[in-house]
């Protein structure tokens, strides 16, 4: 940056938020026994009070102050802070029938209290509030919101007679004077000084609040013995002399340890100084001696004079006097000088003249005067001057906030409603209060529109204007042109209403100057604005022509010639800027918005300028260019002054933990409004400057004059400058757009969900994002970024870095605000390597805004291209456009390892195996996609990532596993199988195989499972299915049947038979029910079928040894009766089963089933019984046919059968009717067809006696 000296102008930045005005606490007091006066007796006034320690870094009152405004008999007090959001910080006090004197509010600090002294036309009041330093548990304030001193004001005893007093009728208040002063004595008494009706000053004293006492009144009159001798004690009015009276028009007080000096500037143009303790006048000075006077002025009463004091520990007491004269005014600055024997005099420091504007207020420091005027057009003018250094008497300009345009231009292709709404609700243009008041009037008072949020207000405005419009349209049909015209009429009517209230509310009432921090504010009705130093470039561009011509060139740059060149260059730019019409300006706006090259737009504007040049502006520019010795160098210097490009180290200062005392510095919503308003103002001005510079450069190219280009300058240099100016213009356009773009309201659950997604990327902590704190009204995205992220970085950089200039203990507002804005712009600058701003938008769920930001940025900014692609991908994910998101993520991959944001994204976790940067990037994105539940995108990205991991088998294994898992989840079984077979890690391959088996079984997709080829995985699949078959419940899972199908599909019939045989055996042991026995029979039949399909010599299976089915991995060891683990036999006997063995087992199973079908209660015993046991059970049940078949098959003796049968016959013959009734059940289960014919079946008893013996006979023959 060039060695620029301190710029001399200032900018006004509004602190009025977009929130509805907070309703203040209301207090009403009706003093007893007074006659009410009209409320409009005095004009509205305002003022401010700053705490003594407001500049101390470690104080509770740091960056805090109180402002007040009066209107009639009402005063509104508001406590403000730049560091914390104060709760209950506003109070509106009405003292009914007692209008407040202008400037009649005085605040004083004592050790434990803040004392408010109020003066009305009829009363004086004292309010005691707790001091902020005593209000909180600790002096350091670390919360973002704290209670104000006004929080408990409703508990204050305002009606306590000891805290108010009615002004006595004798001596009475001077009728034509509004001067007043108030202070606290060292003993705690409240003193009020007022001009008395008799021409002097009377001082009313309230005793200390905690001490008994009565109110006393002292009148200060003429003290000179000669004067007293001549006039006695007669008031001026009685004396009847023709000159102006000595009634004070302005009073100020300077407190000493045990005295107070009271300064009175009187109508007779004299300044009198009184000692309150001695009650005598110590000095009288005729101020007309210090200004050119006429007889008329000497005889006229000086009612417009003003007096201000400024005290400095090192320099003493300064007095600033404004002497008002018709059509002119003069400021005089004096220093109070004391001589021996308590004599005082004034040392004249400076006299400064002002134009004829109406002075509203002025403020004094020991070096400067700040003044506020209204000019002849009733516009606000603010200027300041350093009276010590400025010998020429040149006032410095303050560029006040202009009012919005008087008319809004609506083109035919625009919708009037949208155009007006956009203009009305553009941040920084209209306040919430102005729009609400306009809405109230426009709606004709039908509804009360109070405390509406920004969005609600927008809806109400739309509704009100549309209702008014609909109500006035009487015809059913009108042409689109007429409809459009009517809309414009109604919207312009509402807009004019808003403009009227905006003008009224933005009219400054007073200046507030903080002597401790050098902060200067403009106080308005219901709001305030701040005056901040203007940077050199903006100072030159905004300065009016007459001021620019008188600009001291040496004060711009050290190189005098370069200074002159820059001033001439800026004059050329100003000529261009003033010639550009609204339509021309719109061309550049549209070019930037539609991503068209600004150079082309500048060329078109230049052509339009040349075509419409009726005032020979081009000639003026050409002649001015001739004065520039080196235009290329001057343009380059201007570009360097405006460029905020930094290196990465410069921008990303180490993010140190802020000290407790700094944790909330500039943390309030007010501070955010001011800082971001400063950024918006700079960007707005510099966008116009860059636009004009581009047009000028196009003109230089068109002229191509070697005289203009400086002789040996190359055309190439001019082209280079053109291509440097264009990104500069686009950068300012982008930041200006962000400063006007409102952040969306995000529900807390959405924010928390978003933070979870960021935690996958491990970005949640990098920008220290927190769910939204409470904010007053909608923020712009730049304000959001400042409060959430940038502020801590800036404060850390300014205060905690070694060798910083701000590391001292006291704060200086001009230096601090300039440094903060200067450090904030590089964090927003698009071509800087840091990426905090888009990252903050992502963390705060501002995805629509982030998408537009990247759209405006991508075509021309070649820094952080990969990071922008990643962010755009994240936006597309939120919008539900997954495939677009994937494209963006893939584009971003090429920049991994080159950009700071992407490098932070791929930092490996602790213990994580480090792979290539690109693979780490893919892993992070895959995790994000998995968390969002987008399996198709995961598969697609993982497939791409595999190409990157050709040499890294571990990463390949991870990615193949990922692909397998998501294919399986999606039901893509074949693709899942392919991914499984390609996995290079055997362990992971086996895990995937196990998962495939389980999932397909659960889904009953068994055909896929059986038909996969399982190359080199056959045994593993069999092992997995076997282990599952042996580990789960036999009746709810069909793993044995699956394994059977698996082997049959591969024509491995012996294994299929083995599986079914094992299944049958287990069913017999474990499922002793009718259904279990039915299944067992089917299993044995299936096993027999399998063996019959094999050649006879191979038709055998190995029977699993007893217990094998239970010994599976993870099973608990078998223990003996005393708890000891039983030894597992090391060798087992292998038993070969052939087809005949299986057929025997099948027969046994069928007979068991017959038994259980006959007697269900036998199921528990019969399920796993041996052939011998089964025979006994059959005999007991009377199933003799089945018993004989079983004995013959297993070659068992028949004796038990005949014994049992004979026993049943004898029992039947000897038994009664009950035994005979039961006999038919078991008889029916045997083959009776040979013994019983149909005819015989009805002959009951005879038949029943003969049949059992017939069975015995029949069985013997068998």
Distance CA 118, CA 100 (A): 8
Distance CA 550, CA 890 (A): 59
**How many CA atoms, within 13 angstroms, populate the side-chain half-sphere of residue 619?**
4
Distance CA 239, CA 431 (A): 54
What pLDDT does residue 226 have? Answer: 32
Q: Which two tokens stand for residue 393?
A: 């008497």
* Length of the chain measured in residues: 1262
Q: Which two tokens stand for residue 628?
A: 């520039």
What DSSP assignment string belongs to 923-938? Answer: HHHHHHHHHTT-HHHH
Tens-place pLDDT, residues 603-614: 999 999 999 988
Stretches in the chain below the pLDDT threshold 50: 1-7, 223-242, 650-656, 710-713, 766-769, 771-774, 807, 1107-1115, 1233-1247
Q: Is 284 left (phi over 0), alpha (psi -120 to 50) or beta?
A: beta
Q: Mapping DSSP to helix (H, G, I), strand (E, B) and coil, where does residue 116 land?
A: strand
**How many CA atoms, within 13 angstroms, populate the side-chain half-sphere of residue 602?**
27
Distance CA 263, CA 275 (A): 9
Q: Which residue has the tokens 């029979």?
A: 1081
Cβ contact 811:666 at 8 Å: no
635 CB-near residues (< 8 Å, 6+ apart): 569, 693, 696, 697, 721, 725
Distance CA 1241, CA 1221 (A): 14
Q: Which two tokens stand for residue 372?
A: 């506020």
Distance CA 55, CA 53 (A): 5
What pLDDT does residue 1163 have? Answer: 77
Q: Which two tokens stand for residue 1147?
A: 């027969």
Cβ contact 846:781 at 8 Å: yes
709 CB-near residues (< 8 Å, 6+ apart): 631, 632, 700, 715, 718
Tens-place pLDDT, residues 426-443: 988 898 888 988 998 888
What pLDDT does residue 1142 have? Answer: 87
What pLDDT does residue 302 have? Answer: 76
Q: Using CA atoms in the order 990, 994, 997, 998, what is the torsion angle rounded to 10 degrees?
A: -170
What DSSP assignment string belongs to 495-510? Answer: HHHHHHHHHHHTSEEE
What DSSP assignment string belongs to 180-213? Answer: -EEEE-TTS-EEEEEEBTTSSEEEEEEPPTTS--
Q: Which of 714, 696, 512, 733 is nearest to 47 (CA)?
A: 512
Is the alpha carbon torsion for 672, 674, 677, 683 positive or negative?
negative
Provide the strand spans (E) within 1064-1181.
1100-1103, 1135-1138
Q: Which residue has the tokens 């195989």?
A: 993
Cβ contact 1076:1167 at 8 Å: yes
Q: Which of 1190, 1110, 1188, 1115 is nearest to 1145 (CA)?
A: 1190
Ramachandran angles phi, psi of 79, nearest 5°: -95, 130
Distance CA 80, CA 74 (A): 19
- Percentage, residues of the chain above pLDDT 70: 85
**How many CA atoms, within 13 angstroms, populate the side-chain half-sphere of residue 907?**
9
Alpha helices in 652-790 (DSSP H): 669-703, 715-740, 748-761, 781-785
């Amino acid at each position: 940056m060039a060695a620029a000296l301190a710029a001399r102008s200032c900018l006004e930045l509004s602190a009025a938020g977009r929130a509805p005005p907070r309703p203040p606490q209301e207090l009403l007091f009706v003093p007893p026994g007074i006659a009410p006066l009209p409320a409009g007796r005095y004009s509205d006034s305002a003022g401010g009070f700053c705490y003594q320690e407001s500049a101390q870094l470690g104080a509770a009152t740091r960056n805090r102050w109180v402002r007040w405004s009066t209107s009639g008999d009402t005063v509104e007090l508001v406590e403000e802070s730049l560091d914390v959001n104060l709760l209950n910080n506003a109070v509106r006090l009405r003292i009914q029938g007692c209008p407040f004197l202008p400037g009649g509010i005085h605040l004083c600090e004592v050790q434990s209290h803040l004392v408010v002294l109020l003066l009305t036309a009829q009363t004086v009041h004292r309010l005691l509030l707790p001091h902020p330093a005593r209000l909180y548990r600790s002096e350091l304030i670390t919360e973002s919101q704290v209670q104000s001193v006004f929080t408990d004001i409703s508990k204050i005893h305002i009606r306590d007679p000891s805290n108010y007093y009615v002004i006595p009728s004798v001596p009475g208040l001077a009728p034509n004077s509004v001067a007043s002063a108030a202070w606290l004595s060292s003993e705690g008494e409240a003193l009020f000084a007022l001009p008395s009706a008799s021409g002097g000053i009377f001082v009313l004293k309230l005793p200390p609040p905690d001490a008994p006492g009565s109110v006393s009144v002292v009148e200060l009159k003429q003290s000179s013995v000669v004067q007293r001798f001549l006039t006695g004690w007669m008031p001026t009015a009685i004396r009847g002399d023709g000159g102006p009276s000595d009634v004070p028009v302005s009073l100020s007080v300077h407190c000493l340890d045990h005295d107070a000096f009271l300064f009175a500037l009187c109508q007779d143009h004299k300044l009198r100084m009184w000692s309150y303790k001695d009650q005598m006048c110590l000095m009288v000075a005729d101020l007309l001696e210090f200004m050119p006077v006429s007889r008329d002025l000497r005889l006229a009463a000086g009612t417009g004079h003003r007096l201000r004091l400024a005290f400095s520990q090192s320099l003493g007491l300064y007095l600033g006097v404004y002497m008002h004269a018709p059509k002119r005014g003069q400021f005089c600055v004096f220093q109070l000088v004391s001589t021996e024997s308590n004599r005082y005099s004034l040392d004249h420091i400076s006299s400064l003249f002002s134009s004829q504007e109406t002075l509203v207020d002025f403020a004094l420091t020991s070096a400067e005067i700040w003044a506020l005027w209204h000019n002849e057009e009733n516009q606000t003018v603010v200027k300041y001057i350093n009276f010590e250094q400025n010998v020429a008497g040149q006032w410095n300009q303050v560029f006040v906030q202009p009012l919005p345009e008087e008319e809004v231009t609506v083109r035919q292709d625009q919708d009037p409603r949208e155009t007006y709404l956009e203009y009305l609700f553009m941040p920084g243009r209209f306040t919430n209060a102005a729009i609400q008041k306009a809405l109230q009037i426009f709606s004709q008072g039908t509804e009360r529109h109070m405390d509406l949020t920004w969005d609600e207000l927008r809806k109400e405005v739309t509704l009100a204007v549309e209702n008014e419009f609909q109500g006035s349209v009487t015809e059913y049909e009108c042409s689109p042109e007429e409809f459009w015209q009517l809309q414009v009429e109604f919207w312009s009517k509402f807009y004019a209403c808003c403009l009227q209230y905006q003008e009224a509310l933005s009219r400054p009432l007073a200046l507030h100057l903080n002597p401790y921090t050098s902060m200067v504010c403009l106080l308005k009705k219901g709001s305030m604005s701040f005056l901040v130093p203007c940077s050199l470039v903006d100072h030159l561009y905004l300065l009016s022509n007459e001021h620019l011509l008188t600009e001291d060139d040496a004060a711009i740059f050290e190189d005098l010639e370069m200074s002159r060149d820059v001033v001439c260059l800026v004059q050329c730019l100003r000529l261009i800027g003033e010639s550009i019409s609204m339509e021309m300006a719109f061309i550049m706006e549209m070019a930037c918005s539609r991503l068209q090259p600004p150079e082309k737009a500048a060329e078109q504007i230049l052509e339009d300028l040349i075509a419409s040049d009726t005032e020979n502006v081009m000639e003026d520019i050409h002649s001015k260019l001739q004065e520039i010795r080196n235009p290329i160098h001057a343009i380059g210097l201007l570009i360097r002054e405006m460029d905020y490009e930094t290196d990465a180290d410069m921008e990303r200062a180490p993010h140190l933990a802020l000290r407790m005392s700094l944790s909330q510095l500039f943390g309030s919503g007010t501070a955010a409004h001011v800082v971001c308003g400063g950024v918006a103002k700079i960007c707005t001005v510099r966008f116009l400057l860059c636009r004009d510079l581009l047009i000028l450069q196009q003109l230089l190219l068109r002229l191509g004059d070697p005289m203009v280009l400086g002789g040996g300058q190359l055309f190439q240099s001019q082209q280079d400058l053109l291509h440097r100016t264009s990104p500069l213009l686009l950068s300012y356009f982008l930041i200006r757009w962000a400063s006007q773009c409102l952040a969306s309201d995000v529900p807390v659950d959405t924010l928390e969900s978003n933070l979870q997604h960021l935690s996958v990327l491990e970005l949640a902590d990098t920008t220290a994002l927190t769910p939204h704190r409470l904010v007053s009204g909608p923020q712009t995205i730049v304000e959001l970024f400042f409060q959430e992220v940038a502020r801590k970085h800036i404060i850390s950089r300014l205060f905690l870095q070694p060798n910083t200039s701000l590391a001292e203990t006291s704060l200086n507002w001009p230096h601090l605000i300039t440094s903060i804005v200067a450090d904030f712009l590089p964090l927003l600058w698009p071509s800087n390597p840091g990426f905090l701003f888009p990252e903050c938008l992502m963390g705060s769920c501002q995805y629509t805004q982030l998408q537009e930001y990247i759209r405006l940025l991508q075509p021309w900014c070649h820094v952080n291209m990969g990071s922008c692609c990643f962010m755009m991908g994240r936006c597309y994910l939120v919008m539900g456009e997954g495939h677009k998101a994937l494209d963006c993520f893939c584009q971003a991959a090429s920049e991994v390892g080159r950009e700071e944001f992407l490098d932070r994204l791929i930092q490996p976790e602790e213990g994580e195996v480090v792979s290539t940067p690109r693979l780490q990037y893919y892993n992070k994105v895959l995790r994000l996609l998995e968390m969002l539940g987008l399996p198709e995108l995961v598969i697609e990205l993982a497939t791409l990532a595999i190409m990157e991991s050709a040499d890294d088998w571990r990463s390949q294994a991870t990615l193949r596993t990922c692909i397998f898992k998501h294919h399986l989840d999606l039901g893509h079984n074949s693709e899942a199988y392919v991914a499984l077979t390609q996995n290079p890690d055997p362990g992971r391959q086996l895990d995937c195989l196990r998962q495939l088996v389980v999932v397909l079984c659960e889904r009953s997709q068994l055909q896929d499972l059986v038909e996969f080829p399982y190359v080199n995985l056959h045994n593993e699949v069999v092992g997995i299915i076997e282990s599952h078959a042996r580990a789960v419940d036999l009746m709810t899972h069909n793993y044995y049947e699956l394994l059977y199908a698996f082997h049959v599909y591969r024509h491995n019939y012996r294994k299929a038979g083995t599986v079914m045989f094992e299944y049958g055996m287990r069913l017999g042991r474990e499922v002793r029910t009718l259904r279990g026995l039915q299944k067992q029979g089917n299993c044995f039949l299936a096993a027999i079928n399998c063996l019959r399909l094999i050649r006879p010599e191979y038709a055998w299976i190995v029977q699993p040894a007893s217990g094998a089915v239970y010994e599976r991995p993870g099973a608990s060891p078998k223990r003996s009766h005393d708890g000891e683990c039983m030894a597992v036999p090391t060798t087992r006997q292998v038993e070969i089963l052939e087809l005949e063995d299986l057929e025997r087992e099948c027969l046994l199973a069928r007979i068991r089933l017959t038994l259980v079908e006959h007697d269900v209660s036998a199921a528990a015993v019969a399920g796993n019984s041996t052939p011998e046991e089964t025979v006994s059970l059959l005999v007991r049940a009377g199933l003799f046919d089945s018993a004989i078949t079983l004995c013959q098959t297993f070659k068992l003796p028949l004796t038990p059968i005949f014994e049992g049968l004979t026993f049943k016959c004898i029992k039947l013959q000897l038994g009664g009717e009950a035994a005979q009734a039961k006999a038919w059940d078991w008889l029916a289960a045997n083959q009776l067809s040979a013994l019983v014919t149909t005819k015989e079946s009805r002959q009951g008893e005879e038949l029943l006696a003969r049949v059992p013996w017939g069975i015995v006979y029949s069985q013997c023959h068998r």
